[in-house]
Each structure stands twice: as C-alpha cells, then as structure tokens.
Structure 1
Amino acid sequence: MPPELRHLRHFVAVAEELNFTRAAGKLFLAQQALSSSIKQLENELGEPLFVRDTRRVALTPAGEILLPRARRLLTMADETVAAVRAGTPDRAVLRVDISSSNLETGALVLRRLREDRPEIEIRQREIGVPGGLVALRDGELDVLLGDAAAAPDDVAVEPLRQETVQVMLAADHPCAGRSTVSVAALADEVWLLPPDEVAPEWNQLVLRHCQQAGFRPRRYPGTTWGPAAAAELAAERRCVVPTNAWLTVPDGVVFRPLVDPEIRFPWSVMWAGEAGEPVEALLAAAQAMVHERGWSLPAAQPEDGDRSTQ
C-alpha cells in the first residue's frame, strides 16, 4: 500500500528540521504523535528513514532517496487540491523558486508581482539552484532565481542584480561596530554554509574569496533550516553567516558588507522554453525593481559555451 500523504508531510517536516520537537511544533502535532507517524511510514516502507540518538537526527540512505520524491508528491497533491478548489483550471499560475523567502532580492520581486498582477497565483518553492534547474527542465517549475553560472544552454537567463554579499554577526561581535568587515578579519571564525548539494554555487563563491584572503574557512558542523535558526546561531556567537540582504534584521545580530575582497553575488532569472504570461509578468516586476532600487546588473550569460566555466 502506498504511504499516506500525511505521513509523507510529517517525514518532510522532520527531514527539513532534523529535530522532532521543532518539526512537531511546525506541524502543530504532539511529538509522540509525530514519532508514531514516522514509525508507521518506516514500517510501510520496510526501511528506517532516520538515525536517531540523544545528540542528533540524520537521514538514512533510504531517507535521502525518499526526501526529493516526497516533496514532489506533496507539491503535486497541493497543486491538485488548489486547482479543484479554485474551480478555474485556466487561472494564471506561477511556480517560482526565489532561493529563500527571507532574502531581499526575490522577496521584493514577488512583492512587486503581487501588487502589479494580483490575479496570478504564485506557488513558491525553496529547492535551490541545482534542484531548480532540474525542475525547470522537467516542467515542474516555471521560474528560478539565483546564480545562473550552471544553467544549461536550453535554459533562458535574464540578469537581475549584482549584490554585495554581507556577513551576519552577533550584535556583540568585535567586528559588529565596523561599517564593513574584511574577509580576512573572520579567518578564525566558524562559517555557516548550506549543504553543498543544495547550494554549491554559493559555497564555491564564498570559499573562493576566503582563499583569496589567505585562508580556508572552518565550516559549522551542522545544518539549519530557515532564517530564524541561522540568526540564533549567529547571535550565540557559534558562527558567522555569509548571506545576502534580508528584508528584516532579527534581534541580536547585525549585517555588514564583506570586503577585501568584496564578494558579489550574481542574481539572474531563469526559465525553460517559451516564457508564458506569468513568467513575462515576473520579468516585468524584476525590471521594475532594478530601476526603482538602482540594482547593478551582472554580466549577461554567454549564448554559447559552458556557463559553468565562466
């Protein structure tokens, strides 16, 4: 018998949080009920999905295989329910990945799109550039925002913004009082970076500039999900967090531009095939934000050749 959708939804929540207590809170479930649901799913599949001990929760190989497929199934289920409830199968829908909803660039573009075109139904995902490029080509995603260096030739690219990368520090960090922070000043710190499989383009950018400053950063050994968890680690002085600008600054942390060398992140809009009306609307919203905010544009991607070498 195939797993129930609710069991898959519970599994994804635990996989994203890697913490049963936080996942239970996110789902508004008792922790015991969540543990029981995961156990039922593991029994149905005949494989353990998590390694659990007193210190950590981690995915097993079977869990790693299930996670992307469970996400796709849940997305399809949600889209099916939304279409039935809307009763308008021809309603304009835009499936978009803006990297992270707390980052300023994508959030401002979507805000402008909602203001200009409220009739478009926006379905936002956060799967990262590697997974997003696959989803574009498989027809599961309409638009992807991020670094387009790895985009294949059959993915269209529109440069959006060249953004100075910042570092999130505890408000009482010795560098917090500076207007800018040199990369070398953080050589002895622990750096929080996303998993390589989720954001390799980001990690390569940061590591390359650290090496230019004469060191290889020590990476924080764990992972986080969402801005609140990253801000909490930074506020506790457990790590520093290279990041792009956020819409709001959490309590206990500050953001400072990284310099010497300055790190610039090239945002682009990516889509596959002919741009439909919802994609064109997002491109118009993006251009409006470029002009209103005075964003500097990254160099356009070459039409020929391997973008990954640029």
Structure 2
Amino acid sequence: MDKIQLKALAKINLGLDVLRRREDGYHDVRMIMQTVRIFDRIQLVKQEREGIRVRTNLYYLPANENNLVYKAANLLFEEFDLRGGISIDLRKYIPVAAGMAGGSSDAAAVLYGLNRMYGLGLSLEQLMERGVKIGADVPYCLMRGTALAEGIGEKLTPLPAMPPCNILVAKPGISVSTKFVYENLHANDLKPEQHPDIDAILEGLRHQDIREMAEGLKNGNVLETVTVPAYPVIQQIKDTMEEQGAAVALMSGSGPTVFGIYEDRMQARRAMSAIRKSRLAKQLFLTTPYNNNRRNS
C-alpha cells in the first residue's frame, strides 16, 4: 500500500473535572470524551526520497517537526527504521486551538495509517501506548467513541454510546491557551460545588437518557471557571444556545469552543442561525455523535 486517505475526527468533553495539580506539574483529570463527526482529511503517500514532508491548507500551521503529524510519523519511522519517506497532506477543518483535540486526532490518524501502510502489525492498544508519547489526548483519538478518561487523560474506559442527538458546535473568533487555563485554575483550591458531577453524566449515558445526561452537564466543565470570565463571548454563546432550546450548552476542553445538545434538529438549525446573525462565532457546525469505538478510518 503506497497511499492511504484518512479522517481525523474531533472530540468534545461531555464532562471535565480536574481533581488536583500533581507535583510533576500535570493535572489529574476525570472527564468524559465524545467523538463527533467533524473531521480533518489526511492523505499519506510513500516517497522514495527519505524524510517526512508535511503540507497543510492553513498557512499559519507549522509544516515541520512542530506539527503533531510530523511527530507521529517520526516516532514510527525511527522505531521501525522505515525506509524511504512519507508525504503528509493535511486538510484542516476542525477548529484550531479550540478544545476539540484536532492536532491529537491528526497525530492518531497518522499512527493508524502508517501502521496499515507498512504492515507494522501494531494492535490498537500498542498504538495507544505510543500515542501518549505525543500527547495525552492521542490514545483517546485512536480509540474514539464515548469514554471515561482519567489520570492525565491516558487511562481510558469505554462507555455506553452517547444517545442519538444533534450537536451544535460554535467556535468564536478567539484562541485560548491551554497552558493559560491550567496555570490559572488553582485546582487544589477549588470548592466542592465547582466540580462537575461526572457520575450523574455517566448515569445518563447508562440510561440512554439525553435529559438526565444534560442535567449532570449543567456544571460540566471545571475549566469554565477560568475561561468564561476571561472570554465573556463563551457565556454569550452558551446563553444563546440554551435560549434556542438546547438541553445543555457547555464549553469543550479548555475552550473557546462551545457545544449545545439538541434533541430536535430544527431547533438546532434555528440556534445556528441566531448565533450566525449575532456574529458570536466564527465557525459553526451542526453534527452528531460518532459512536463506533473501534473504527479508525
């Protein structure tokens, strides 16, 4: 196989709690991850000339070793002493620096694709073990679906699939530094009521009940305590989504992307129109959950 085309799917956080800041500077988290059908396209092509070449449709993204797709390819090329080179064509559609794991998903797709192209014979679990060396979200992006993530995000437990619904995703025209958010969180000083009820969200998933799940999501992302005060547009988008019938609206990851969960697609479309008219968001997507935990192409 000399060429392969892949989809790198985005994720949202159905719940995100930070339990504590560790002595090594990392944070222990407990969060529910969900893949959604927003994706980047990646094409891998074998080259006779040695080296890893990256092309992207966004001028401001690095096309060198600072891009996670390069790091993913380099990891396998070095470990397995692969001959020749690889060309990586990355078409970005997932919002960048938006709390949707776009870069991690791109890296995961490259690991998966090279494993197939070169017949490396690595299992999904073995790919995930390598993925964590690139980033904490990469193992999940290989696994996909609905999952509980613990530790620094690398300990993953598959969960019942998210019930069918419509998910409106809105990315305002700002970028948020994950480093800024975690440095200003002061996780060890959070009050009990500031932590989301992850167990309540899990119960909603187990009962396949969107309303029950949404109730648990009302205070679902502890990082909002930092990001929302710094960027009020996030709260404006959340309010608009809920005014337009969302069962719940929440920031994903460290932001600034907001998603709203709708049972009725027409309500979601009306909310999309309202946000577009108000110019609160630069990018808008109406999507659905992706729930096949084992499919990676």
If each structure's strand is expressed as a fraction of its own residues, which one has the higher value? 2
If each structure's helix is expressed as a fraction of its own residues, which one has the higher value? 1
TM-score computed with the length of structure 1 as normaliser = 0.25
Higher Rg: 1
TM-score computed with the length of structure 2 as normaliser = 0.26
